[in-house]
Chain A
């Protein structure tokens, strides 16, 4: 017990095979405040890069939100996934379903906010439309397709940094990305793929997921960074440009961290991120979902696009 919150490790899921650490507020439970689930970033276990999820979970618990960090099957201290041939994405989303079940049952919370960085964000937005108990998402560096303005600003940034003479054609990430996009669009006539969405048209899958999440009333906090050597975003509005037509409206809060790298290696940037997330979760207009029954299985994925999807 630390002042203001307690922590406990638990085994979660139908086979008690997933390891999670739950931070609980010391104050009496307030079910109207959403509980929070923090997802793995890729293969990094529940601590997060630079221990960022430990700090975030404890801060959220101090703010009155039961917060669970857990490991997907095969990551950290969770058991390996069942070797039944299921795709890893499907297995992970089933793990997430079991985790939300456990968290709601354990804490009595009426809604859940999912927090994820990178692949964790991709998992969160794929899962949200399938579960009515999810009321909000904090998506940190989710996959955002490149736009024309992205490439222009990327090139400008490279030129500013290295000059025209310092530009390396060989092993140039920028050149690779431009070539790949050109090839996909005009040569192979296939749509954008991404590792988080195997066999799917990434842009269309995400467009449908965001639309479905918004349609059920989810609130979104999207945080994008831009200081990697090969950045995912180069300007604040890239997220909106990439998903033009999705009716985000007032349900979206978009934050841009231009000086921050993908894993938030700066303690100051992590502190800023925690502050924004805490404030947002405390004040967002989450819908009430008391008494909402969970679905028994994941069966409402946005259907794959006709072209390039699977």
Chain B
């Protein structure tokens, strides 16, 4: 996302990246984070960007869970938010939840989780029951795609249950552009792909936003 932000800034756009409450450099603990709170964070960030840049219009770009939250937040955003980019949005929260549990190496012993992690562990982070519930309840359908903004949908991981393509129904919308680049899933790190960048996807986003 830093690479994308740099490319967008180089093309003349003001760009804001931010961390959700309880994530990254932002304040708060993961145990106090909720998806509904993260959706409000998106709205706050958009307000901040418009205020700082004095731009007349803005776009929203989200990757994976961020894309899902962006799609859910977009309908309530001001009309100045005219474009939205959904990069491999999570469609099924329960499948994503299972993927995160599987990704834990090694998976935590049940007794240890019960004894030391009363809140709940997800991919090495403590999260609240509310977060668990909200995540598992996520369900992005073609009708969830915002129709009041131009939308660019990027699908690089066909076959993944978490990101099963929302097309072809969604692709029928006149405001939706769907691209399926020959890229790799950027959120997966392995020895072969370390250090590589999804140049094609980033270039596609920059071109589309222009």
Contact = CB atoms under 8 A, between A and B. Distances in A.
Interface of A: 2, 7, 9, 21, 43, 46-47, 49-51, 54, 76-77, 227, 261, 263-268, 271
A61 B23 CA distance: 19
A267 B121 contact: yes
Given A227-B106, A261-B105, A265-B104, A51 B125 contact: yes
Given A77-B2, A266-B124, A267-B126, A47 B106 contact: no
A2 B27 CA distance: 8
Nearest to B106: A261
A76 B3 CA distance: 10
* Most chain A beta carbons < 10 A, residue from B116, B121, B124, B126: B124
Interface residues of B, number: 20
Contacts of A43: 194-195
B117 interface: yes
A104 B152 CA distance: 47
Contacts of B104: 265
Interface string B21-52: 00111010010000000000000000000000
A46 B30 CA distance: 17
A267 to B, nearest CB: 5
Contacts of B30: 51
Contacts of B117: 266-268
Interface string B92-124: 000000000000111010001000110001011
Contacts of A77: 2
* Most chain B beta carbons < 10 A, residue from A46, A54, A264: A54
A41 to B, nearest CB: 13
Contact of A9 (B23, B25, B108): B25
Contact of A267 (B24, B25, B125): B125
A51 B28 CA distance: 12
B105 to A, nearest CB: 7
Contacts of B2: 76-77
Nearest to A1: B27
A265 B124 contact: yes
A49 B30 CA distance: 14
Contact of A268 (B106, B112, B195): B112
